[in-house]
Structures are given as C-alpha cells and as structure tokens.
Structure 1
Amino acid sequence: MALLSLLSSKVSLSALAVGLSTFVSNTVAQTSFNCTEFFVPVSISAQTVELNLGSPHNQSELTSLVTRMTYLESTIVDEVTVGPSMVNATYNIWSQLCVPDGFEEDGVIEFTIHGGTENHTYFNFGKESPYNYAEAALKAGHAIFTYDGLGVGNSDKPDGIQEVQIGTETAVAIALVEKLPSLLSFGKVVGVGHAHGRYDN
C-alpha cells in the first residue's frame, strides 16, 4: 500500500480521476513487487506530415497500399506527402508501473516502448517465463514502466494516418518520461525500445 500512498501524493488528481484502475501484488521467484495500472493524460505539440491519403475502406485497399509502400522503387511517399503539419492534442495513455519491494530512491526505472505491432504486453507475457522482460527487470531490482502506445491497446485511438506518426509517438514518450518523477522517486531512467519503439528512445 506504500506505492498507493505515494501515487496519491504525487500523481495529479486529474491522472487519478482518469483512472487508477488496478493495484496488484505479485511474487516472482522471491521477488515481491506492486503493479499499478492507470491512464496518464499527456498534452503534446508535435510536428507531423500532412498526407493526402484516406483510410483504406477494406482489406483489398489496405493490401494494395502496403504493397505500394514496400515496393523497392515505390514513389508513394512523394505522391501523398502534402507538407509539414502540427498536432496539438491531449491523449489518455494507458500505463503500468511495477515497483519491487524495497526499491531505493536512487534506483533504476526502465521506461519501455513496444514495437509498432505490439502493446505493453510485449514486455510482460508468460508469467514466470524466461522471456518475460518485466519480471527480469523486477528481479534485478529495477522498477519498470510500460504503456500502450498512441492508437494501440487501451490508449486513445486518434486518426491513424494524420495523427499517429513518429512525431506524435515521440512527443507522447517524452511527456510520459517527464511525468515519471511525479510517480516515483528514482535515480536513473533507462530507455528500452523494441523494433519501432527504438526510434522513440
């Protein structure tokens, strides 16, 4: 319950109101930890690219678009790019913070960014599995922050063409990192990215 008290005193009321949803205690190979799930409202201003491209209406259009994009001599980027644009918006991002018992104020928190086709579960699957990254981090005494990227999982799903771009995803990641000190006292943040997520790190 110490983490819940810490969150109550350090998270803004708006973040709590948006949804502190779950408080879970777990034990993994003699490592006790607490995980809390919540939504974090993030306000961003990000440079994007305006695209003259509508949403595919069916699987055939989507397949055609992907084929055109991945063709070696594809010119689709030049064909659909209108020019630079800006996104100014607030999004609710589903997040999870797991903290091992006895976490020190100068400890390490790992900030994870999943790949483009995954969500937060990429880092936390298969309980007590040798491939469960979150459990390995907790066993090492690190706190770990995972989240569903913009347009994925439980996070907000804005326009997938005009808004969900690398610029907005990077701005969301930066905003979340900036909010970490309000959630937990720590000494160092380590960024962990997989595939597409490595570009945001």
Structure 2
Amino acid sequence: MASVLVVLVLAVASLVNKGRASPTSGRQCVQLEVPVVVNTSAIHWLQKKVDSTIDVVDWVDDMTTWSSPNTTSRILGQITVKDTFKISGQLCVPAKGPRSDTLQLATHGVGFDKRYWDVEIRSDQYSYVDSVLAEGYSIFTYDRLGTGASSKPDAYDVVSTGVQVEILRQLTILARSGKLASASKKVGGSSNLSSYKPTKIVQVGHSLGSVIIIGLLTADGASSDGAILTGFLYNSQIGSASVAPWGFEYAKENDPKKFGDRGSGYIVQATKANTQLVFLKKGAFEPALLDYAWEVRQPNSVGEFISLGTVLGQPAPAFKGPVQFFIGEKDYGFCGGDCNHTYNVTALKELYPASSALSVHLQPGTGHGLTLSTNATAGYKVIFNFLHGSGL
C-alpha cells in the first residue's frame, strides 16, 4: 500500500512540474508576507469544542440537527480582535498588458489556499492566474487567515467571516495605496514590483471568498470597482447547503504531518471522495485534477462556518461597480446540485441598487470547483467578457 501511495504522489508531482513547463509569457510574480493590522469587533459564539475527529462528528451533528439552536441564539456577545496577522500572498503583473493597472484581488474558498487560483497541472487550461495575465490584468492572490502560509489563530471567534472581511478590506486599502508590495516582506519572485499601484481593483471570490467579498461590498462598497462572485448564488436552494457532505475530520488527526500546525477547531475534508462530492461533477473533470485538489486541500475553522450568515442578505448601496454571480450549473453545495430556475435577478439587483451592471452565469455541467473543471478557460472568457463590457 505504501508503495502505491508513493507512486501516486510522484505522479501528481510530475504532472505539477509538467504543468509549469511553459508559463505564461511575461509572468512577473512576487511572493509576499503581508502584515495586516486588524482592529475590529467579532462575535463570540456558543460552539462545541473540536479537539478530535469524534468531536468533529459531534459538531456536525450539532450544526445540522433541525432542533439545534439557531445561529442567532448562539451569539454570546462581542469581542475585540486587535492583532497584526501574517498574510501570505502573490502579486503578479503582466510584462505588457493594456489592463495591467486593473488589479484582480482574488479570495479563495473553503478547502483550498491561494493555489486554487493557480492550478499547477496543465496551467494553460486551468490556472486562473495565467489566464488573467494573458488577458492583460494584474492579480493578487492570498491565503485566507487560517490557511496556507498565513497566520493560524483561534479557530472559534478570530478566524471568522467578519474578521476575514476586515482583512480583505485592509488588503484592498494597501493595494489601492500602492504599498501592497513595499510594506510587505518579499519571500520570493520578482524584485521589480514594489512600486506597483493599480488604478482600479476588482474583487474576485470563490465560495466563502465570494461571501467575504459580499461582506466587503456592504461594509465598504466604494473600495471596489467591480466584483466577480464565483461559486456562490443567492437562490431558493441555498438553505440546503450543509457541512455534512464534507465528511470533516480534525485536521491535526487527519494528517499530522501536513496539518500539525493547526490546533483546536480546525477541520478538513476526510477523503478524496468527499472532495469530489463537494467540488466536482463526473464528466466535467479530469481524475488528475481530483488528485491535485486532494493533494493541496486545506483545513478551515469552525468559526467560519457558524459566522457565514452574518454578512449575507444585506444591501450594498455604496457599491457602484458591476457584479457578476458565476456558478457551476451543477453546484452541489449552494444549489443542491442544480442551479437552474433557482434564482431571481430582480431580487439580486435590490441588494446592489447602484451597481452599473449585474449578471448571473451558470457554467454548463460544472460543479463547485470551477478552476478544476474541464471548461475552466471557457468560464474565464465569460468573466473577462463581462468585465470588458463593463469598462474594466
């Protein structure tokens, strides 16, 4: 069995190396350690402690049983989160590009880190970063708090949706000021991007990342010139979304070597089958991409799940840019497996009354993991065409 696992790991590593053999021409990237100062209030929640996989199952039971306390009744009060967090990010700017002064600031969702946007297997077909650069835009991707190489603080109240919104707001302010690179520690890559200053910023999110952007648009709508909300859609089936299909386990127990730096309250999908169920639709993905998704999987905090609803359903009257909801037609998590005929565009427009343009796109036959699906680049073209049509 061990030899089989070794072969599989080597096979994935080989595919990764091949995928980067011919990077996008003119790809200039710098890897950064961004110090993000946060001083905000957060909710203190009534939650079950999660210190083992047995606890995780009990937590899932508590979160999904119909007679369990609702979210509002779990609020115990407010706390102040005042700290400087290390956020791992990558800034990429095309060597030549008519839109390089427009920065796409990308926030990933549950189960991944910033590698979600920069798939290393057949990057010409799957990497959103490469496609953005080829289109002439610049892009900043980062590991959300609690994931990847970013700080991993308390998983109950600190690594929560509201705090993630504030981190995104601070990153946006840094980027807008032109200090994103110069105020950060360079840990790799190009040395000539320290003065990069965009004139426009488009927020791009996936899943929880889109929820975080929704929170930003409500809290500080004027900070963004546009928003692409992938892997999320307000719709009639959104209530069916549940933590149960993830098959979560305690991260440190699931893989002590990979997730040994995660403490209490950090959970991760247990098997490759769970990853497929949540992210991919049979017939719309290559098996190598499922292997890749499993290899780069990341834990999340229990606090992010309980706090999801705190930023949803609120209007963003100050946001004047274009917004696109872009979701897989067969998204299992947010539409119960079929997004057709589940949404109301008029209701969506009421949330963004000053938006210059609003659209909904269902990517045909695709599941929740948009960058991992076989028609990824076709989807990217839809996004770019929307931005072009909106003057971005």
Q: Same fold (TM over 0.5)?
A: yes
The answer to whether the Cα contact below 8 Å between 2:145 and 2:159 also exists between their aligned partners in 1 is yes
Task: Single out whichever of 56-65 and 96-105 deviates more from structure 2.
Answer: 96-105
Residue 28 of structure 1: CA displacement? 3.4
- Match of 1:163? 158
**Runs of 4+ residues over 3 Å off in structure 1:** 26-29, 52-55, 76-80, 103-106
TM-superposition CA deviations, 1:27-53 (whole Å, max 9, x none): 635x31111101000111122111243
Which secondary structure state, in structure 1, belongs to the residue aligned with residue 126 of structure 2? coil
Gap regions ≥5 residues in structure 1: 1-25
Residues 1:198 and 2:193 are matched in the alignment = no
Which secondary structure state, in structure 2, belongs to the residue aligned with residue 200 of structure 1? helix
* Separation (CA, whole Å) in 1 of partners of 2:37 and 2:85: 7
Query: How many aligned residue pairs are there?
Result: 176
Residues 1:33 and 2:23 are matched in the alignment = no
Aligned CA-pair RMSD: 2.2
- Match of 2:135? 140
Residue 187 of structure 1: CA displacement? 2.0
Residue 116 of structure 1: CA displacement? 2.2
Task: Single out whichever of 154-163 and 183-192 deviates more from structure 2.
Answer: 183-192
Residue 131 of structure 1: CA displacement? 2.0
Residues 1:101 and 2:113 are matched in the alignment = no
Task: Give 1 or 2: higher strand fraction.
Answer: 1
> Would the alpha carbon gap of residues 36 and 145 (structure 1) be closer, same or farther in structure 2, given more than 3 Å must change?
same
Task: Give 1 or 2: higher helix fraction.
Answer: 2
TM-superposition CA deviations, 1:135-171 (whole Å, max 9, x none): 1101101111000000111000000002111111011
Which secondary structure state, in structure 1, belongs to the residue aligned with residue 133 of structure 2? helix
> Would the alpha carbon gap of residues 106 and 120 (structure 1) be closer, same or farther in structure 2, given more than 3 Å must change?
closer
Percentage identity across paired residues of the two chains: 26
Instruction: Tell me the amino acid that sits aligned with residue 90 of structure 1.
Output: T
Which secondary structure state, in structure 2, belongs to the residue aligned with residue 193 of structure 1? strand
Q: Spell out the pairing of 1:16-31 with structure 2 (5 A cutoff).
A: 28=23, 31=25
Instruction: Tell me the amino acid that sits aligned with residue 146 of structure 2.
Output: G
Task: Single out whichever of 173-182 and 141-150 deviates more from structure 2.
Answer: 173-182
Residues 1:66 and 2:78 are matched in the alignment = no
* Separation (CA, whole Å) in 1 of partners of 2:174 and 2:97: 18
Which of these residues, 49, 66, 76, is aligned with residue 82 of structure 1? Answer: 76
* Separation (CA, whole Å) in 2 of partners of 1:193 and 1:72: 30
The answer to whether the Cα contact below 8 Å between 2:104 and 2:203 also exists between their aligned partners in 1 is yes
Which secondary structure state, in structure 1, belongs to the residue aligned with residue 89 of structure 2? strand
Which secondary structure state, in structure 1, belongs to the residue aligned with residue 144 of structure 2? coil
Instruction: Tell me the amino acid that sits aligned with residue 128 of structure 1.
Output: S
* Separation (CA, whole Å) in 1 of partners of 2:50 and 2:100: 49
Which secondary structure state, in structure 1, belongs to the residue aligned with residue 71 of structure 2? helix
Which of these residues, 189, 195, 199, is aligned with residue 187 of structure 1? Answer: 199
The answer to whether the Cα contact below 8 Å between 1:105 and 1:186 also exists between their aligned partners in 2 is no
Instruction: Tell me the amino acid that sits aligned with residue 203 of structure 2.
Output: G
Residues 1:131 and 2:163 are matched in the alignment = no
The answer to whether the Cα contact below 8 Å between 2:39 and 2:83 also exists between their aligned partners in 1 is yes
Gap regions ≥5 residues in structure 2: 1-20, 182-195, 214-392
Query: Could you state the TM-score of these two structures normalised by the residue count of structure 1?
Result: 0.79
* Separation (CA, whole Å) in 1 of partners of 2:51 and 2:64: 20
Query: Could you state the TM-score of these two structures normalised by the residue count of structure 2?
Result: 0.42
The answer to whether the Cα contact below 8 Å between 1:105 and 1:187 also exists between their aligned partners in 2 is no
Residue 108 of structure 1: CA displacement? 1.2
The answer to whether the Cα contact below 8 Å between 1:27 and 1:33 also exists between their aligned partners in 2 is no
Residues 1:118 and 2:131 are matched in the alignment = no
